Every structure is written in structure tokens, then in C-alpha cells.
């Protein structure tokens, strides 16, 4: 099979949260520069793989190909709004072979269970944006393994990813981006 490259994208608070206690994205994690960066990256991707809640919350005006994780799907189903996939029923390797027979780049924008699943599958890169100086109380962490003693960076490192240099997306905050890559140091 042709190569499939999985890229994860998250904006997190200083305490590694992607959402607040109610499961919604708080204002402190909304940033125009990060949004623009993320959408430029989507333009380079062949498919976006995301959880059902994210799919329902984010319209898809450009009609980008989506693969939606849901327990409501039986294996892999083509619906009008994309491919619906239940990883319990069909392994990733088989599902993506159907969705991208020629291979290509896969964008993964979460949420947490989706980020967790692809840690096990293997990211080629994880684009970790941090809204520096922000704290989300009792929020949803980017990975289940994050806690006060285990930062997102430690989780990425434990899965064989290595950081590139820190880049400022927005001097306000600042909001910074570090791309973690599988096994090498370049950003
Ligand atoms: N800051 C960030 O970068 C970032 C990134 C992502 C999301 N968020 C925020 O986080 C919130 C949404 O995240 P979320 O975690 O609640 O929602 P989500 O991941 O978008 O969707 C959750 C749903 O996806 C399905 N799903 C996920 N993993 C699955 C698996 N392994 N097997 C089967 N189904 C699976 C389930 O659907 P069914 O119920 O149909 O089974 C689950 O209820 C939103 O506020 C969003 O904006 C922030």
C-alpha cells in the first residue's frame, strides 16, 4: 500500500487541555493564527479523521473528505457527509486502505479519544499549539495519559516523537507551535 502519513493537530492550554469541563472549546483556546495554520494544513491533507462531535460541530463548506469515528457505524460506511468508521469493527489499516487506496496525508484534529487512538497507530507528526499562559480548570486533556506529572510533551516523547523548534504563531499570549515528528528533529 502507498504511504499514509498521519498528522495530529491540537491547541492546548498550559495544563494540556483541549476543552473545558463541559467538553466545549473555551475562548482562551480560540486563536485566529492557529485556525489559519490548521486550515492551511487541511489543504495539504487527503482526508480529515475526527470524532462525531467535532464533525457535527464544524461545518465542512469546502466539502473536504472526512472520516468520522462513531460507535454508530458498522465497520466502515460511506454516507453523504463522509466515511463513518468504528475502529472496534475494522482496524485502521483496513479502513484507510479503502478510503485512501493511493495513500496520502491524514489530518487528525481530535478529540481526546481520537488523539489517543492514533498515538497507538503512530503519528508521522503532531502539531502541538500552545496558548501560553492559559489554564483550563477540570478540562479535557489532549491525551488520556496527561496529568499534573505527565505533560503532553512527555506523552509524545514516549511514543517516539521528537520536537522541532518552537515557533510563534501569535505574539499575543503568545500562541506557539511545536511540530513533533516521528524519530527526527527537523520542523
Ligand atoms: N483544542 C483542540 O485542539 C481541540 C481538538 C479537538 C476537539 N476539541 C474540542 O473538544 C470537544 C469535542 O471533543 P470530544 O472528545 O467531545 O468529541 P469528538 O472526539 O469530536 O467526538 C466524540 C465522539 O466521537 C466518537 N468516537 C471517538 N473515538 C471513538 C472510538 N475510538 N471509537 C468509536 N467512536 C469514537 C464517539 O461517537 P459516538 O458517540 O457516535 O459513538 C464519541 O462520542 C469540542 O469542544 C471540540 O471543539 C478541541
- The band of 187, judged by pLDDT with boundaries at 50, 70 and 90, is very low
Residues in the chain: 187
Residue 160, helix vs strand vs coil: coil
**pLDDT at residue 159 greater than cutoff 50:** yes
- The band of 44, judged by pLDDT with boundaries at 50, 70 and 90, is very high
Q: Which residues pair with 76 in a beta bridge?
A: 85
Nearest to 67 by CA among 52, 54, 53, 84: 84
- State the pTM of this model: 0.96
Residue 73 lies in a domain: no
Q: What is the pLDDT of residues 96-151, one digit of tens each?
A: 999 999 999 999 999 999 999 999 999 999 999 999 999 999 999 999 999 989 99
Tell the residue nearest (CA) to atom 44 of ligand 1: 24
Give residue ranges with CB within 6 A of ligand 1.
Answer: 10-11, 18-19, 23-25, 29, 50-54, 57, 69-72, 86-87, 109-114, 117
The predicted pLDDT at position 2 comes to 73
Residue 159 lies in a domain: yes
The predicted pLDDT at position 183 comes to 84
Ligand 1: which atom is nearest the Cα of residue 50? 20
Range of the domain at 113: 4-59+102-182
For the chain, percent of residues with pLDDT exceeding 70: 97
Report how far apart, in Å, the C-alpha atoms of 182 and of each of 6, 28, 96 are.
Answer: 10, 29, 20
The predicted pLDDT at position 58 comes to 93
Residue 26 lies in a domain: yes
Ligand 1: which atom is nearest the Cα of residue 111? 19
Residue 81 lies in a domain: no
Residue 28 lies in a domain: yes
Residue 72 lies in a domain: no
Q: Where are the beta strands (DSSP E) in the chain?
A: 4-12, 17-19, 47-51, 66-69, 76-79, 82-85, 104-108, 125-131, 140-141, 161-163, 167-170, 175-182
The predicted pLDDT at position 184 comes to 53
How many domains does the chain contain in total? 1
CATH of the domain at 53: 3.40.430.10
Residue 136 lies in a domain: yes
Q: What is the pLDDT of residues 77-88, one digit of tens each?
A: 999 999 999 999
Q: Which residues pair with 38 in a beta bridge?
A: none
| Matching residue, cell 501569535 | 170
Residue 158 lies in a domain: yes
Amino acid at each position: 500500500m502507498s504511504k499514509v502519513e498521519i498528522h495530529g493537530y491540537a491547541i492546548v492550554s498550559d495544563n494540556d487541555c483541549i476543552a473545558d469541563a463541559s467538553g466545549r472549546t473555551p475562548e482562551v483556546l480560540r486563536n485566529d493564527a492557529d485556525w489559519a495554520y490548521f486550515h492551511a494544513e487541511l489543504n495539504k491533507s487527503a482526508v480529515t479523521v475526527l470524532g462525531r462531535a467535532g464533525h457535527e460541530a464544524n461545518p465542512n463548506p469546502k466539502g473536504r473528505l472526512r472520516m468520522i469515528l462513531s460507535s454508530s457505524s458498522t465497520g466502515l460506511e460511506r454516507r453523504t457527509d463522509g466515511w463513518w468508521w468504528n475502529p472496534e469493527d475494522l482496524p485502521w489499516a483496513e479502513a484507510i486502505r479503502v478510503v485512501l487506496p493511493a495513500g496520502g496525508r491524514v489530518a487528525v484534529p481530535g478529540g481526546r479519544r481520537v488523539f489517543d487512538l492514533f498515538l497507538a497507530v503512530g503519528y508521522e507528526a503532531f502539531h502541538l499549539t500552545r496558548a501560553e499562559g492559559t489554564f483550563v480548570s477540570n478540562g479535557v486533556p489532549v491525551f488520556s495519559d496527561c496529568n499534573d506529572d505527565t505533560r503532553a510533551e512527555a506523552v509524545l516523547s514516549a511514543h517516539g516523537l521528537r520536537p522541532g523548534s518552537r515557533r510563534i504563531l501569535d505574539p499575543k499570549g503568545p500562541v506557539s507551535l511545536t511540530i513533533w515528528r516521528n524519530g527526527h528533529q527537523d520542523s
